[in-house]
Amino acid sequence: MRVKVKAVHDLSVTVGDGDVTRRIIGQDDNVNAEDMTVPVHFGTHIDFPFHNIPDGATAEQYPASLFIGRD
What pTM did the predictor assign?
A: 0.43
pLDDT number for residue 13? 77
Question: Is the pLDDT score of 71 beyond 60?
Answer: no
pLDDT number for residue 44? 72
Residue 7 within a domain: no
> What burial class does residue 48 get, using C-beta atoms within 10 Å of its C-beta: 0-12 exposed, 13-18 middle, 19+ buried?
middle
Residue 26 within a domain: yes
pLDDT number for residue 51? 86
What is the per-residue pLDDT across 22-68, written as a single tens digit (0 to 9) for each? 777 777 777 887 777 777 667 777 889 998 899 999 999 999 888 87
What is the number of domains present in the chain?
1
H-run or E-run covering 21: strand 21-23
Residue 63 is part of which domain span? 17-67
Residue 11 within a domain: no
Q: How far apart are CA 1 and CA 66, in angstroms?
A: 11
